[in-house]
Structure 1
């Protein structure tokens, strides 16, 4: 039996039961982050996660986050790979990467390397660029796990010439570093 009270309160109840808007949820979770940044980063993360196509092409910001070690941090410790790969969200759609490199070098120096001659890479990649000077880095090798966050890595400090691949980025009109392929160690330079 429908009464006037139940017929009027049902729409009101349904309005009250609607989920909170994304902005309200994100404000509660990340109160110090500006709304536009918080929403944009979250939407990009969800789009990348549920996308069925190829991953987004790298950008300067992504490359810096995934491969560059800030010079103000201690260069190497036993937790570097496990901590940084998780905190920097370095994965392939939540699958563990088999290996990864972090470099202690400025982004600008690596970008200049993109203008050097091509050299052969490893793993079948034919077009790498080699840094002009010897740099330090960390090689992270997957030891256990398949999906994030269960990935466990062992880190090895390396010193040598970094081999990188580069790509043109349309929105800034520059060639940028895309991926670190290897660090060619020089005997006696450990």
Structure 2
């Protein structure tokens, strides 16, 4: 037989948690607001330093801080899209030679995606770092849908490369999922529905 308990009433601790910012709804609202300001507020600025600050946001604030802010956001949101872009940049910088090998293996099989990604030929580690930086700079100076489409194309080529290199299936699927999420977000952005 199941015992019934009287429901707990919110006490002072409940309200302390909300005031300290630990309330999930408030954290999500803050994440969404920060993403909107970053993408929509910086766009069209003539200040070249803003693009560099956006590019190096993960380095100056720490990827962990961005994770706390955006990692739980849905893929079809501005915050979720930014999180995926910054994680992708961190991954390229952490293993540029490995990423270059995966991209090289996939580029012959994913011709259209290779062209859209905008990676220089041949795709070495320096070229991949330059491409991913150009993508993130595009947050402030370009069309955000283009930023997402370039990142999606890059992820698709890498996923194709992983498959041809017989990488573990789950790694290939994760990269393909990333490509699909970024592409879906780009289509929402094109319809002015990405928030």
Query: Which TM-score band applies after superposition, normalised by the shorter structure?
Result: under 0.3
Larger Rg belongs to: 1
Structure of higher RCO (CA pairs closer than 8 Å, 6+ residues apart): 2
Q: Which has more helix, going by share of residues?
A: 2
